Structure 1
Amino acid sequence: MSDAGISIRVNGERREVPSGQTVSGLLETVGLAGRPVVVERNGAALFPREFPVTRLEEGDRVEIVMVVAGG
């Protein structure tokens, strides 16, 4: 991996992201910014307030799940 980016797994698929990328930035990249989602990083759920300050690191495993209301 070059100095310009890191390798992570998002929903089981390998993805290259810029070094220093936050969870908020990742959500923007995948088109889910501002959407109701649950995000897990390395098995730990994150609060939405943590998205902008949580920086992704090489080898992180991120799961993003859309929240869907039902009845």
Structure 2
Amino acid sequence: MTEVAQGSGTGHELAAGNEVVSEVALIVNGERRTVRAKTIADVIGFFGLEGKPVIVEADGAILTKPQWDGAPVRDGMRIELVQFVGGG
């Protein structure tokens, strides 16, 4: 298991279609991070984890992949991202 806490977002707002997604201050894997995100799915995208096996815990609750699009993020939210990697 590997925890993931990297991202490359810059700027304060991101236009997503007709919506503007503002930056939110999160605690990701124990580190304070500023992320352009409206939902957990956006956080997954910010860290480049789309399509990868990831477990998400948000404020103590495990979220399944179908929940990510509808799970809003807010300032101060604690998120744990755990990715499984193989090796020998």
TM-score, normalised via structure 1 length: 0.81
Determine the C-alpha separation between the residues in 2 that align with 1:6 and 1:32: 18
1:11 CA drift (Å): 0.6
Larger radius of gyration: 2
Provide the identity percentage: 36
The partner residue of 2:35 within 17, 32, 37 is 17
What SS does the corresponding residue of 1:49 show, helix, strand or coil? helix
Let me know the Cα RMSD of the aligned residues.
2.2
**Structure with higher strand content:** 2
Quote the residue 2:66 is aligned against. Answer: 49
The one of 36, 46, 69 equivalent to 2:53 is 36
Partner AA of 2:57 in structure 1: E
Higher relative contact order (CA 8 A, sep 6+): 1
User: Following TM superposition, by how much is the alpha carbon of 1:5 offset from its aligned partner in structure 2, in angstroms?
Assistant: 2.5
Does 1:67 find its partner at 2:84? yes
Aligned residue type for 1:7: A
CA deviation digits over 1:24-68, x for unaligned, max 9? 111111010111111000111001100111110111000000134
Runs of 4+ off more than 3 Å: none
Aligned length in residues: 68
What runs of 5+ residues in structure 1 fail to find an aligned partner?
Answer: none
